Chain A
Amino acid sequence: MTAAAPLLSVRDLRMTFPGRRGHSAPVRAVDGVSFDLAAGETLGLVGESGCGKSTTGRAIVRLLEPTAGSVVYDGRDISRLRQRALKPLRQELQMVFQDPHSSLNPRWTAARIIADPLLAQGRAAAGARRRAAELMELVGLLPQHLDRYPHEFSGGQAQRIGIARALATGPRLIVADEPVSALDVSVQAQIVNLMERLQRELGPAFLFIAHDLSVVKRVCDRVAVMYLGRIVEVGAKERVYAAPAHPYTRALLSAVPLPDPAAERVRERITLLGDPPNPAAPPPGCTFHPRCPKAREICRAEAPLLRIAAPGEARQVACHFPESSG
């Protein structure tokens, strides 16, 4: 990355949920996650369900209180700030959620939903409404529809409202948690294009959390792959997708079905055995070893650290035996 300090610097972030009394051990949903995000950059956080990607996003914007670790935003650790001290920062840190209909208040009009963050920052009502109308237009909705309620919008339109709300205060960082996965295929592309355009025009940094590797490849500059609460590989998207270094990344990419029957017939697939392990009882050593085709003795005993994959490369990988291809 550049020499300038990153906009967001996450170090050893941990989020532990207590187990059910007497039933299960505490769940380490996020287990020591570290990464940097530069201003205006888009980082994709990918992984399968239960890998901790959403929890990471929520702990960063303090919708959850992290158990340990630091979240340095613009030079300041916000992981322990009181909610009151956090409030002025809320205009810079915003979030877009997966299900637009459940994340928008059904009793509020679009105008009120979009203007709410502005009103919370003390803007006057008339000005906030004017700004809401501009934002509607910016995200491709008709400003005449300001006084409609969420149920009067389709899923894609409602997600546009969610995005408009996130943009209202001119944030510098947007955490988007699966923003297109609840939408119909034909509508996903509209929202992907919208986010790409807004990123270009307004330049916020995005932490884009998704399980769909094709969408992440499309939207992001860099990608971090998570498995069981940890980042196993992170680097420039071109590198990670073209030459995955971690066996899990390789398997994940090879499992995605391509919309191309001829390619599908000849494609080499790495089929992983079993399911992702229970985060309440993670395997010892590298947590991926029970499913890893390359696992050896050391993998069962020692957890690999996230480190530079190859000399001269920014990409990092947590594996004792990373792929060494170019």
Chain B
Amino acid sequence: MAGTPEKLPLLSVEDLTVTFTTARGPVRAVDSLSFAVRRGRTLGIVGESGSGKSVTSLAVMGLHTGARVTGSVRLDGRELTGLPERELNRLRGRRMAMIFQDPLSALHPYYTVGEQIAEHHRVHFGSGRRAARKRAVGMLGEVGIPDPARRAGEYPHQFSGGMRQRVMIAMALACEPELLIADEPTTALDVTVQAQILELIARLQEQRGLAVVMITHDLGVVARVAHEVLVMYGGRAAEQAPVDALFAAPAHPYTRGLLDSLPRLDDGDDAPLRAIPGSPPSLLDPAPGCAFAPRCPRAAAAAPAERARCEGTRPELRAAEEHLVACHLSPHAAAHTRGGPR
């Protein structure tokens, strides 16, 4: 996923680690994660509960107040980690924006949606009330809300789930950010409404050249929207690859397992699903080795010495053709580890 030299990535994350202090000791929710997203491209981050995918997105936005965040997050070449809150505030909304699963938690119930979008615009551009209001209405129209001038005067609860998600997208994009982080934006929506929202994001991306990070648990959504994919497990990257390579030849046994365990519309129903045994790991006491080892069919079938390595040593990400894969037993994984900082 290395950015080509002539086209530097808009977002570049290196060695990101997020540690929370809890009553039961430190929890490393994200561990040594690196990825990059270019303008006009979509990175899909896939993972299950506790994989660290949402923590990652909040860390990029600088929204973790109680956690220790190390590593580097660069937006268009500018380092964001360690920036004072005031500086971050200037970037958030203006150059990078985020949308969430539940729009109601991101919208203020006491203000009309028009006021909320307009305020956003006034804060970042210092525009006057009338101009900001006009911008809000225009934005609501752009995200496909019928009769935007009237609906700008309504409150969040007066919108349906799908329309609320559109309002949040309008708010996120009102100041023309270059990076959009979407954290499970369609998980709470019905499938027909999900299709509308994904189409909307794709259209806006195309018009504005947005870089998008799409965080989801749904491999179907990833297949539909992503150019590159990062599969997370237990806070780490299990595999990174271009979308076609990932689905055609998953290199990590976890990716393989996820794909095999999905019931599919486009497949027969004769053989039982190949389920992954066990459940996702707890981050409270992580295994010393590969987080997936306890559930891994490849480790289970390996010779004792190999299995001991899976259980005892963390696998590093290695390049294997188009993939980066963190697996001791991946057949493709060449011996050379990934080079230094890109």
A contact set with B: CB distance below 8 Å: 48-49, 154-157, 184-190, 192-193, 196-197, 211-215, 217-218, 241, 251-264, 269, 271-272, 275-276
Contacts and interface: CB of A to CB of B under 8 A. Distances in A.
Contacts of A257: 194-195, 198, 218, 220-221, 223-224
Most buried by A among B191, B248, B272: B191
B193 interface: yes
Given A218-B269, A252-B192, A272-B192, A189 B262 contact: yes
Interface string B203-240: 00000000000000111111110100000000000000
A263 B244 CA distance: 10
B111 to A, nearest CB: 23
B261 A256 contact: no
B275 A259 contact: no
Interface string B41-56: 0000000110000000
B274 A258 contact: no
A217 B244 contact: no
B257 A241 contact: no
B259 interface: yes
Given A264-B223, A275-B160, A211 B275 contact: no
Interface residues of B, number: 47
Given A49-B190, A255-B192, A275-B163, A217 B220 contact: no
B148 interface: no
A217 B265 contact: yes
Contacts of A251: 192
B261 A255 contact: no
B279 A259 contact: no
A186 B276 contact: yes
Contacts of B276: 186-187, 189-190
Chain B binding surface SS class: helix
Interface string B261-295: 11111100100111111011000000000000001
Given A49-B190, A155-B279, A257-B224, A217 B269 contact: yes
A261 B49 contact: no
A207 to B, nearest CB: 18
A258 B269 CA distance: 15
A258 B265 contact: yes
A254 B224 CA distance: 12
Nearest to A276: B190
A264 B264 CA distance: 13
A193 B269 CA distance: 11
Given A187-B279, A193-B275, A241-B265, A275 B218 contact: no
B143 to A, nearest CB: 14
Contacts of A188: 261, 263
Contacts of A154: 279
Contacts of A48: 190-193
Interface in B24-49: 48-49
B263 A184 contact: no
Contact of B263 (A189, A260, A263): A189
B254 to A, nearest CB: 8
A153 B215 CA distance: 27
Contact of B257 (A186, A197, A271): A186
Contact of B259 (A213, A214, A259): A259
A259 B217 contact: no
B155 interface: no
Contacts of B266: 258, 260, 263
